Amino acid sequence: MKAMVLRGSRTPFELADVPDPVAGPGEAVARVITCGSGLTIQHAKAGRRQIKFPRIIGHEITGEIVDVGAGVSTLKVGDGVTSFFYLNCGHCRYCLTTLEPLCTNGGGNVGLECDGGYAEYIKLPAHIFIKYPEELDYKAHPAEMGVITDALATPYKVLRRAQVKGGETVAVIGAGGGLGIHQVMMAKWANARVIAVETAADKFDACRKAGADEVVNPRDGGVVEALRDLTHGAGVDVVVDYVSTTATQEAAVRALGQRGRLVILGGAAQPFHVPARDMLTKEQAILGSRYVTRAEILDACDLVARGEVWPLVTVVRPLAEAEAVHDLVERGQVTGRAALRVA
Ligand SMILES: [Zn+2]
């Protein structure tokens, strides 16, 4: 099969012929139609996340099952599928209580610790594939459907993690990024008042179109003051920080109101100081959020099938143009998500 192979970090992709994968016991193989291109996998290409090479990256797939191994009863040839991002074991106490991202026997991530979707075929343990609901027209919109598994499901999960209620104010730091813009969209769907915090002026319109009621540019100075002003001094109910530097997190906690919640996920994950007195007297909370459960992916699929939200994919190029697409991702020039068309 044809595959985009990475031979090392900070090297270009190489379009290569590699052996077709064959499903062993408990495994399945899907023909890849599209695969999303986000910052998570660009981190590996750029050397900011250590992985082993050679590697075929990519996890936000839409595909169709072409081969199932012995003992697989949950999938059949022709099923439309996407992929879970974590290679979770499926049988530890976390997997059994629908907390799969916390799996204690996990094998890493699809497309990072095993080969992924930048190829004509992908082989995975069968339970890692997720069958699309019948209502979802993955054939008509494969790129959009393929990014649900991360770009849309992750913001959906954050709403639950922070218990966002209608009428609350949600600030999204890094709102113009691939996940941030979908967080804006999902928070609006949840009937929150949404404040986008973003430094890239060329993303402001997209933030507003996705549902932001206000846009705050930290380069104008005083993010905390701006968020307090927009809430008449009360502070915001929830801050979702997709950047997670020391500075953004410290600004985020200071912008929280009473019972405010800060959700930390992705980004730089730098250490930061928290004013304990405020946390106590205002009953605030800091929440880590790690990817999603399968149930949350299926919930997000249902929302898309009903037309309540729609994944924002603005760049779709053939697999052969992976290098150019990753250049755009690296430079922050993609609005929403990019994807590669494989078949
Ligand atoms: Zn497990």
CB atoms within 10 A of CB 102: 16
Cα–Cα distance for residue pair 238/256, rounded to 1 Å: 7
User: Ligand 1 mean position to 114 CA, how many Å?
Assistant: 17
What pLDDT is attached to residue 152? 96
What pLDDT is attached to residue 307? 96
What pLDDT is attached to residue 92? 97
Closest CA to 144 of 332, 303, 252: 303
User: Ligand 1 mean position to 234 CA, how many Å?
Assistant: 42
User: Ligand 1 mean position to 329 CA, how many Å?
Assistant: 32
User: Ligand 1 mean position to 132 CA, how many Å?
Assistant: 22
User: Ligand 1 mean position to 95 CA, how many Å?
Assistant: 4
What pLDDT is attached to residue 266? 77
What pLDDT is attached to residue 221? 85
First to last CA, the chain: 12
User: Ligand 1 mean position to 34 CA, how many Å?
Assistant: 28
Helix/strand/coil for 68 = strand
Q: Which residues of 122-148 are buried (b: 16+ CB within 10 A; e: fewer)?
A: bbbbbbbbbbbeeebebeebbbbbbbb
User: Ligand 1 mean position to 105 CA, how many Å?
Assistant: 5
User: Ligand 1 mean position to 295 CA, how many Å?
Assistant: 15
Structure token digits, residue 307:
């037309």
User: Ligand 1 mean position to 91 CA, how many Å?
Assistant: 5
> pLDDT digit of tens for each residue in the chain (343 aa)?
999 999 999 999 999 999 999 999 999 999 999 999 999 999 999 999 999 999 999 999 999 999 999 999 999 999 999 999 999 999 999 999 999 999 999 999 999 999 999 999 999 999 999 999 999 999 999 999 999 999 999 999 999 999 999 999 999 999 999 999 999 999 999 999 999 999 999 999 999 999 999 999 999 989 999 999 999 999 999 999 999 999 999 999 999 999 999 999 978 899 999 999 999 999 999 999 999 999 999 999 999 999 999 999 999 999 999 999 999 999 999 999 999 999 9
CA 142-145-150 angle, to 5 degrees, is 130
Cα–Cα distance for residue pair 183/94, rounded to 1 Å: 25
Cut 0.85: pTM above it: yes
User: Ligand 1 mean position to 225 CA, how many Å?
Assistant: 43
User: Ligand 1 mean position to 104 CA, how many Å?
Assistant: 5
User: Ligand 1 mean position to 153 CA, how many Å?
Assistant: 20
User: Ligand 1 mean position to 235 CA, how many Å?
Assistant: 39
User: Ligand 1 mean position to 135 CA, how many Å?
Assistant: 29
User: Ligand 1 mean position to 246 CA, how many Å?
Assistant: 32
User: Ligand 1 mean position to 99 CA, how many Å?
Assistant: 8
Beta strands 61-68 and 285-288 are unpaired
What pLDDT is attached to residue 268? 87
User: Ligand 1 mean position to 75 CA, how many Å?
Assistant: 20
Closest CA to 193 of 225, 232, 152, 164: 164
> Peptide bond before 54: cis, by omega within 30 degrees of 0?
yes
Cα–Cα distance for residue pair 280/272, rounded to 1 Å: 17
User: Ligand 1 mean position to 106 CA, how many Å?
Assistant: 6
- Residue 44 has, within 13 A of its CA and on its CB side, a CA count of 26
User: Ligand 1 mean position to 265 CA, how many Å?
Assistant: 21
User: Ligand 1 mean position to 180 CA, how many Å?
Assistant: 28
User: Ligand 1 mean position to 125 CA, how many Å?
Assistant: 13
